Structure 1
Amino acid sequence: MEFLASQIAELLNGTVEGDSEITVNKLSKIEEGELNSISFLANPAYQEFLYDTDASIVIVNNDLELERPVKDTCTLIRVENAYECFAKVLEAYSQAKTVVKNGIEPNSYIAKTAVLGDDVYVGAFAYIGENVKIGNNVKIYPNSFVGDNTTIGDNTIVNAGVKIYHECEIGSNCTFHSGVVIGGDGFGFAPNKENDYTKIPQLGNVIIEDHVEIGANTCVDRATMGSTIIKKGAKLDNLIQIGHNVVVGDNTVIVSQTGIAGSTKIGKNCLIGGQVGIVGHLTIADGVKIAAQSGVGYSITEEGKVVQGSPAYAMGEYKRSYVGFRKLPEILERLAELEKQIKVKDI
Structure 2
Amino acid sequence: MEFTVRQIATLLAGDVVGDDTLVISGLAKIDEGQPGDISFLSNLKYETHLYTTGSSAVIVDRTFEAKKAVAATLIQVDNAYSAFTRLLEEYYKLISFSRQGVEEPSFVGENSQLGEKIYRGAFSYIGRNCRIGQNVKIYPHAYVGNNVTIGDNTIIHTGARVLDDCLVGNHCVIHPNAVIGSEGFGFAPQADGTYKTIPQLGNVVLEDYVNVGSNTTIDCATLGSTIIRRGAKLDNLIQIAHNVEIGQNTVIAAQTGISGSTKIGDNCVIAGQVGFAGHLTIANGTKVGAQSGVGKNVTQEGLSINSSPAFDLKESMRSLAVFRRLPELDRRLSVLEKKTEK
Which deviations, in whole Å up to 9, do the C-alpha atoms of 1:208-245 show, x marking residues without a partner?
11111111111110000110001111111111111100
Counterpart Cα distance in 2 of 1:47 and 1:327: 43
Task: Answer yes or no: is 1:39 the counterpart of 2:39.
Answer: yes
Superposed CA offset, 1:41-85 (max 9, x none): 344554565555444433334455x5x725522444333333221
Residue 83 of structure 1 aligns to a residue in which SS? helix
The answer (yes or no) to whether the contact 1:50–1:70 under 8 Å persists in 2 is no
**Correspondence 1:89-104 to 2 at 5 A:** 89-97=87-95, 100-104=98-102
**Cα displacement (A) at 1:140:** 1.1
Give 1:291's aligned residue.
Answer: 289
2:70 matches 1:72: yes
Query: Which of 51-60 and 326-335 deviates more?
Result: 51-60
Distance 1:134 1:38, change over 3 A: same
Match of 2:118 among 102, 120, 126: 120
1:267 corresponds to which residue?
Answer: 265
Question: Compared with structure 1, are the counterparts of its residues 42 and 162 closer, same or farther at alpha carbon in structure 2 (3 Å cutoff)?
Answer: same
Match of 1:12 in 2: 12
Distance in 2, Cα, partners of 1:222 & 1:35: 50
| Equivalence map 1:1-347=2 (5 Å) | 1-17=1-17, 20-43=20-43, 46-47=46-47, 49-50=49-50, 52-63=52-63, 69=67, 72-97=70-95, 100-343=98-341, 346=342
Contact 2:264–2:284 (CA<8 Å) still a contact in 1? yes
Paired residue secondary structure (2:305): strand
Deviation at 1:177, TM superposition (A): 0.9
CA distance 1:241–1:4, change in 2 (3 Å): same
After alignment, is 190-199 or 83-92 more displaced? 83-92
CA distance, structure 1, for counterparts of residue 241 and residue 300 of structure 2: 23
Residue type of the partner of 2:79? N
Structure 2 CA distance, aligned partners of 1:52 and 1:342? 71
Q: 1:17 to 1:278 in 2, by over 3 A?
A: farther
SS at match of 2:181: strand
Measured at CA, do residues 57 and 319 of structure 1 come closer, stay the same or move farther in structure 2, by a change above 3 Å? farther
Gaps (5+ residues) in structure 1?
none
Alpha-carbon distance in structure 2 between the residues aligned to 1:108 and 1:36: 38
Cα deviation, 1:227-275, whole Å, max 9, x if unaligned, reads 0001111111111111100001111111111111110111111111111
Distance in 2 between residues matched to 1:334 and 1:62, nearest whole Å: 59
Number of residue pairs aligned between Structure 1 and Structure 2: 342
Using the aligned pairs only, state the percent identity. Answer: 51
Unaligned runs of 5+ in 2: none
Q: 1:327 to 1:16 in 2, by over 3 A?
A: farther
8 Å contact from structure 2 (residues 141, 159) kept in 1: yes
For the residues of structure 2 that align with 1:255 and 1:115, how far apart are their CA atoms? 35
TM-score by length of 1: 0.90
Q: For residues 323 and 78 of structure 1, do their structure 2 counterparts lie closer, same or farther at Cα, with a shift above 3 Å needed? A: farther
Q: Do 1:159 and 1:177's aligned partners in 2 also have CA atoms closer than 8 Å?
A: yes
Of the structure 1 ranges 194-203 and 287-296, higher mean CA displacement relative to structure 2 is found in 287-296
Looking at structure 1, the residues matched to 101 and 118 of structure 2 have their Cα atoms a distance apart, in angstroms, of 6
Choose 257-266 or 99-108, whichever is displaced more: 99-108
* Alpha-carbon distance, 1:34 to partner: 4.1
Q: What amino acid sits opposite 2:327 in the alignment? A: P
Query: Which segment drifts farther, 193-202 or 2-11?
Result: 2-11
Paired letter, 2:274:
V
1:171 Cα deviation from its structure 2 partner: 0.9
Contact 2:50 2:70 (8 Å CA) reproduced: no
* Distance change >3 Å, CA 129–CA 49, structure 1 → 2: same
Letter in 2 for 1:240: I
